[in-house]
Amino acid sequence: MNKKLTSSMLCAALAVGTVFGSAMTASAADLPILGAGIYSSTDNFNSYIGKAITGASEGVFEVNVDDGQLDQSTQLNQIDTALAKGAVAIAVSVVDTTSAPTIIQKCQDAGDIPVIFFNKEITDKDVVNSYENLYQVTSTGGDYGAAIEGEIIVNYWNENPEMDKNGDGKLQLINLMGDPGHTASQPRSEHVKSTIEDAGIEIELLEEDTGMWDTTKAKEKMDAWVSKYGDEIECVVCANDAMALGALTSIEAAGFNTEGKESEQYIPVVGIDALPEALEKIESGELIGSVLQDAQTQGKVIVAIANNLYQGKEPLDGLDFEFDTDGSKAVRVPYSAITAENVDEAAATYAE
Ligand code: BGC
Ligand code: CA
C-alpha cells in the first residue's frame, strides 16, 4: 500500500516535472533536431563524444544521443525515428561500418539529409563518394594515434633503463588490440610496434590479442598473462584507455604499480584517448601515458558542420579545420601525447 502510494506520487511528480520541463524549454522545442547516436554506451570514449555533442548542441539543436547498444538494427531504427521526427542532420558512430550504405540511403530518401559519420571511419571510398551530403569527423592519420603512443614508449625506454628488466636489450611486450571490426584497430597495432622498432628497439611479443576496446575483457586477458609472465612483462601497450584501465586493475591486483613509479614491481602501461579516468592514473604514475583523442573538439566540429549546413553555409564555416586533401569531406582532429608532465592539457579539453 505504502509502496503503491509512493510510486503513484512519483508518477505524479514526474508528470508535473514533464509539464514544467516542456514549459521551461519551450524554445528548445523550436530548435531543429539533430539525430545523433553512438554505437554503444559501454564504450567510454564514444560516451564522451556523445556528451560533447549534447554540450555543443545547447541552444542550437534539440538532440538526444541514442545508444545503439551494439546492435545495428537498433541503431537503424533510431535513425528512422530521428528522420521521421524531421531531423535536419544525422550524426552517428556506426555499430557496423558495412551498414553505412543503408544509413546513407535512409538520409537520401528523407530528402538529402546530411550524414556525419564519426569515430568509426568509413574507409570504402566508393561508399564515401556515393553521397554528396556525407561528412566524417575522426582523428588524424592512418596510424590513428599509435605512432605517438609508440613514441611515449620509446621515450620511456630511453629515459628509464630499468624498463629492460632482464637486460637483454629487447622489449618484452604485451599488445592489447581493439575490436578487429573497427577501422583504427589494425593500424594502431601495427604502427605502435613499427614506431618502437624504427627507434632501434627490438620487440619480443609475449602476447597479442583483442580486448575489444573493453575494460572487463582486457582485465580478463591480463589476469591470465600476468599470472603467466609476471615481472617478465616490460610493457603493456593498449589500443585504448578503457583497456589500459582494465589491464592496470589486473596488474595492480597482482601487486604491481600500486605506488606509481615508486612501486617495488612495475609494469609500464600505456593507452590511447586520454580519458579523464585515465588522467588520474597517469598523474599518479600508475600508467605511463596516453594519447589525447580530443572528444570535445570532435563533438563541437560535428555540431558545427550540422549547423552550418542547416544554415546554408559552407560546412566548415567558422572552424579551424580543413577537409582531407584527397577530396573526401573528412575532418581529422589531431592527437597529442599525454604524460605526467602535461595531464592538464588533456584535462582542460574536458573542463570546457
Ligand atoms: C577509441 C576507442 C573506442 C573506439 C570505438 C577509438 O577511436 O580510441 O576508445 O573504443 O574508437 O569506436
Ligand atoms: Ca628486455
Quick check: 14 pLDDT over 60? Answer: no
Q: 326 exposed, middle or buried (CB, 10 Å; 0-12, 13-18, 19+)?
A: exposed
For the question of whether the overall pTM of this predicted structure is more than 0.75, the answer is yes
Q: Mean per-residue pLDDT for 297-309?
A: 98
Band of residue 4 on the pLDDT scale cut at 50, 70, 90:
very low
Pocket test for ligand 1, best of 213, 237, 293, 336 (most atoms within 8 A of CB): 213
| CB-CB neighbours of 136 under 10 Å | 23
Shortest CA distance to 294 belongs to which of 346, 217, 239? 346
The pLDDT of residue 27:
54
Contacting residues for 328 by C-beta, under 8 A, at least 6 apart: 125, 128, 129, 136
**CA 164 to centroid of ligand 2, rounded, Å:** 4
Cα 287 to chain centroid distance, Å, stands at 18
Task: Reply yes or no on whether the pLDDT at 352 is more than 70.
Answer: no
Tell me how far CA of residue 151 lies from CA of 63, 197, 285, 290, in angstroms: 39, 11, 17, 11
Q: Is the Cβ atom of 290 under 6 angstroms away from ligand 1?
A: no
- Asked if residue 73 has pLDDT above 70, the reply is yes
DSSP 252-309: HHTT-STTGGG-SS---EE-SB--HHHHHHHHTTSS-BEEEE-HHHHHHHHHHHHHHH
Q: Is 184 in the pocket of ligand 1 (CB under 6 A)?
A: yes
Rounded CA separation 286/263 (Å): 9
The number of CA neighbours under 13 Å toward the Cβ of 32 is 15
pLDDT in tens, 164-174: 999 999 999 99
Residue 335, ligand 1, Cβ within 6 A: no
Q: Considering just the CA atoms, what is the radius of gyration of the chain in Å?
A: 22
Residue 148 corresponds to which cell in the numbers above?
605517438
Q: Is the pLDDT of residue 29 over 80?
A: no
DSSP letters spanning 188-232: HHHHHHHHHHHTT-EEEEEEEEE-TT-HHHHHHHHHHHHHHHGGG
Residue 15 confidence (pLDDT) above 70:
no
Closest CA to 119 of 217, 213, 31: 213
Residue 20's pLDDT band (boundaries 50, 70, 90)? very low
Say whether pLDDT at 38 is over 50: yes
Tell me the pLDDT band of 22, cut-offs 50, 70 and 90. Answer: very low
Residues with Cβ within 8 Å of residue 2, at least 6 apart in sequence = none
pLDDT at 105 over 80: yes
Average pLDDT, the chain: 92
Which tens digits make up the pLDDT trace of 223-280?
Answer: 999 999 999 999 999 999 999 999 999 999 999 999 999 999 999 999 999 999 999 9
Atom of ligand 1 nearest to the CA of 45: 9
Whether 268 and 339 have beta carbons less than 8 Å apart is answered as no
φ/ψ of 259, rounded to 5, equals -100, 30
CA of 43 to the centre of ligand 1 (A): 7
Q: What is the pLDDT of residue 325?
A: 84
Average pLDDT over residues 332-341: 96
Q: What is the mean pLDDT of residues 330-335?
A: 96
* Nearest-atom index, ligand 1, CA of 144: 7
Domains and CATH numbers, the chain: 7-141+294-334 (3.40.50.2300), 146-292 (3.40.50.2300)
**d(Cα 146, Cα 152) in Å, to the nearest integer?**
10
User: Are 149 and 282 contacting, i.e. CB atoms less than 8 angstroms apart?
Assistant: no
Residue 239 Cα to ligand 2 midpoint, Å, equals: 22
